Structure 1
Amino acid sequence: MGYFLLAVAKVLGMALNLYMWIVIISALLTWVNPDPYNPVVRTLRGLTEPLFYRIRTWLPFVRIGGFDLSPIVVIFAVVFLDTFLVNNLVALAQRF
């Protein structure tokens, strides 16, 4: 059981790390205004915009001036989940 929890923790950590990079790349793409019909851009927007939209509706102050701070909120949430969940799963796996 311990090895299973450790494997789940590692996969979850990798998935959270990958999503953090997707958020960073998506935020950087907004600065260069790429072709919206590009499949890579559409995939990145499809993976990030639903979460950005929810954050913008829950926290209306994340748009300051012309800056959208919702990617920063998502990155903080991902880092929190990575630190809290993954480390607790690893600690629980070590107890088994």
Structure 2
Amino acid sequence: MAFIASVLTFLLYAFIIVLIVRVLFSWVSPFPTNPVSRLAWAVTEPVLAPVRRRIPPVSGIDLSPLLVWLVAYFLIAALRNF
């Protein structure tokens, strides 16, 4: 069980890094054909889209990455107890 928790923790950390890359790319707007940007979008969009549908932007600011980031850290904290 500890091995599975370690693998899930690693995957969550990797997802958080990709999420941060996506947020940074949304600020600097790289070329749409940039493979790193496309990868970050492809990995995070399936998670962010349902959250974005439930929580609308506040004053034009999308809070879905922040909420997903917080949930991921709570999951990591829960997995550390195994």
Identical aligned residues as a percent: 34
Q: Does 1:72 align with 2:81?
A: no
Distance 1:35 1:50 in 2: 21
C-alpha RMSD over aligned residues: 1.1
Q: How many residues align?
A: 82
Q: Which amino acid aligns with 1:80?
A: F
Distance 2:39 2:21 in 1: 11
Q: Which amino acid aligns with 1:81?
A: L
Distance 2:45 2:3 in 1: 29
Distance 1:26 1:50 in 2: 13
Structure 1 or 2: larger helix share? 1
Q: Which amino acid aligns with 1:50?
A: P
Q: CA deviation at 1:45?
A: 0.4
Kindly indicate whether structure 1 or structure 2 has the higher relative contact order, using CA contacts under 8 Å at least 6 residues apart: 1
Contact map agreement 2:30 2:37 (CA 8 A) in 1: yes
Please point out which of 26, 31, 35 is paired with 2:31: 35
Larger Rg: 1 or 2?
Answer: 1
Distance 1:56 1:9 in 2: 28
The two structures have a TM-score, normalised by structure 1, of 0.79
The two structures have a TM-score, normalised by structure 2, of 0.91
Unaligned runs of 5+ in 2: none
Unaligned runs of 5+ in 1: 91-96
